[in-house]
Amino acid sequence: MAKRDEPIVAGFRSERWDVAVQNHLAKHLVLQDEEPRKRVERSRFLREEDDSSTLQGALTSVFEKLSSSYANALVCRSEEHDEQKCYHGEPELERLVATSRNESELRWAWVSWRNEMSKVKGLFTTSVALQNQGAWNNGYLDIGECWREELETSDLENVVEDLYRQIEPLYKLLHAVARFRLVQKYPDIVDPRGPIPAHLLGNMWAQNWASLIDIIWPRAKDNGSVTGALKRKNVTVTKMVKLAEDFYVSMGLPQLTSSFWENSVFERENRSEIACHGTAANMYRDNDYRILICAEVNAEDFYVIHHELGHVYYYMAYKDQPTIFMDGANSAFHEAVGDAVMYGVMTPQHMQRLGLISDSTPDDDLPFLLRQALSKVPQLPHSLVIDKWRWKVFNGEIKSSEYNEAWWAITRRYQGIEPPLPRSDFFFDPAAKFHVTDNTPYVR
């Protein structure tokens, strides 16, 4: 567990020293090789000496307020015996939406969280203006162009649009199947020919529909239940992390460091102030790597732990590089490592090796593939929605007075979902997603 007097995720190098070194290198070091030159140039973003105490300070303050708003936001309601119960977005509301089949309860969770997070609209608008100022100072058209350049893919907007077109037929088929079953479940709520109400898809952001397996294919409900097996075996969250470590070690990678086990946070416990979105961190000192996750014993968190350890093992792989190159090839590589491993972990064969399911048969293939499709295919249009909307905000095409209207227009177009009730531009529904308040690019 993390030490109480030390941040979970924080840099330990002197920022002032980093700024001085990077600016000196960028201005005076002649590099013939394109890749190192680009990396040094990129390190100067928002680091100009005459801006460091003003623009950077203002941005840091806004980002801290946005992150804190997401981490500390609570929505409350009266439950049994009029007892007041309060929920964070992650993981409490997220799990309620995944398990409840009560339409009014789902509607309450979905609407209440978005109403609460709409309060940060002004902060977000300020962050856009400040980031764009930094981008202009460094020769970019807007901060969106800077984000896209990091992936080193020319014409990224068209590339991701083309990728979506490739999976669109499969997504539409999956959407039709889900809508058909949801019409049967909620005949007075779901239009058989229209968008699906977003609160009914088993996920706070409609990005993962795997929890709907009992509705979409009822006879697959208990087939190979990893969550049930983990609980029957009395597996703890710490044991899930250990099993994930064992998987990486079985591929010839080293064991996790002692500081990882000392400083990571695996469960919320009594820490009401922390942001519970799964996060991995390289502390840049003494083999100090950490993850933060408010996990419970269930299959989804078991998979997320494997994903986060993918980041940690990538950090460990480049630990001997010079500091300025101590990073992934780009952010997409970091995400790919964890997801590639996670696909191997999710297979019935591996679950069988762990003793979490009985011998798999060919009849298990279809439920497994359906779960995979429900889990991963909706993620693709969801990713496109988030950053297509932000790119348009950054370049000024979407004004602050149009945030919500534009968000739902793009969401209906790509995800085929709609809010359970009208949402005017008074609200700011994009802020319900961690990556928006955390200012983290999603297409990667």
- Answer whether 203's CB lies under 8 Å from 106's CB: no
278 by DSSP, 3-state: which?
coil
The catalytic site residues sit at 308, 435
CB-CB neighbours of 392 under 10 Å: 17
DSSP 251: T
The span from the first CA to the last CA of the chain, in angstroms, equals 30
DSSP 256: P
Burial of 303 from C-beta contacts in 10 A (0-12 / 13-18 / 19+):
buried
Match 């941005």 to its residue by tokens: 59
Structure tokens at 104: 């009014």
Burial of 420 from C-beta contacts in 10 A (0-12 / 13-18 / 19+):
middle
76 by DSSP, 3-state: which?
strand
Nearest to 12 by CA among 339, 294, 288: 288
Give the separation between CA 212 and CA 101, rounded to whole angstroms. Answer: 10
Q: Are strands 84-87 and 75-78 parallel, antiparallel or unpaired?
A: antiparallel
Single-letter amino acid, residue 94:
E
Give the helix, strand, coil percentages of the chain, each rounded to 5: 60, 5, 35
75 by DSSP, 3-state: which?
strand
Give the separation between CA 146 and CA 38, rounded to whole angstroms. Answer: 12
Strand partners, 87: 75
Give the separation between CA 440 and CA 387, rounded to whole angstroms. Answer: 10
**Phi, psi at residue 384, to the nearest 5°?**
-65, -40
Single-letter amino acid, residue 275:
A
CA 380 to chain centre: 13
